[in-house]
Amino acid sequence: MAERAPVKLGVLISGAGTNLQAIIDALGRRELRAEIRVVISNRASALGLERAQRHGIASRVIEHRRFASREDFDRALVETLREYGVELVVCAGFMRLLSPVMLAAFSDRVMNIHPALLPAFPGMHAQRAALAHGVRFTGCTVFFVREGLDDGPIIVQAVVPVMPGDDEESLSERIRAQEHRIYPWAIQLYGEGRLTIEGRTVRVTDFPAGDESLALLNPRSPHSPRLKRPH
């Protein structure tokens, strides 16, 4: 079977771009087979732009403020993404809601990452909300963007424990470390053609069977023996 061509990515950012960096690093380690065609930021001051430049990746600033409506802004995004031949749009800390203009142009070809186990804690300040609810686990989710806030078919999730004494910063840092693992992985699965959207769920082809013994407890009860892997 002929090998697939590397998937052409357009990465949308607004800020630090640590997820962008994780994708660049995964490409460098050859864990991810893809090509970043362009990085687009809606803020000229986004640190992520420097990361792109440092790695010789084309970048563009498209400031949302210059556009009268969300739709006009999205039309400019779509035009630039097409100009660079982008196949998959990767939102990485992009702080704008996308309109139907973008979602129709790249139907089921827009991914996003969120710092919670969706559908829990959508929207801003997900880590703060997790702490306020006293959940024992939270995490991060990569999903396909649909209309509606953080409400699309889920691709990959990572579970992160909430530790006693955590504040928003320490929890965010623990979650971010997992974001950096799962985002390149989700893109790789897409590039391998292993993601099939069925309604609001995603089927992953040839996914290794899960392991029931990976069930997690937090806090860990002294009375419940640690679940062992079957021999």
138 binds ligand GRF (CB under 6 A): no
| Residue number, 21 or 191, with CB nearest to ligand GRF | 21
Active site residue 180: no
18 binds ligand GRF (CB under 6 A): yes
| Residue number, 3 or 169, with CB nearest to ligand GRF | 169
Choose, from 55, 64, 114, 223, the residue flagged as catalytic.
Answer: 114
Q: How far is the CB of 215 from ligand GRF (least distance, A)?
A: 25
| Residue number, 114 or 146, with CB nearest to ligand GRF | 114
Joined together, the tokens standing for residue 209 give 């069977």
Contacting residue, 37, 114, 146, 174, with ligand GRF by CB under 6 A = 114
Q: How far is the CB of 13 from ligand GRF (least distance, A)?
A: 6
179 binds ligand GRF (CB under 6 A): yes
CA–CA separation, 117 vs 101, rounded Å?
A: 27
Contacting residue, 6, 16, 75, 129, with ligand GRF by CB under 6 A = 16
15 binds ligand GRF (CB under 6 A): yes
Q: Which residues of the chain form contacts with ligand GRF (CB under 6 A)?
A: 15-19, 92-93, 113-115, 176, 179
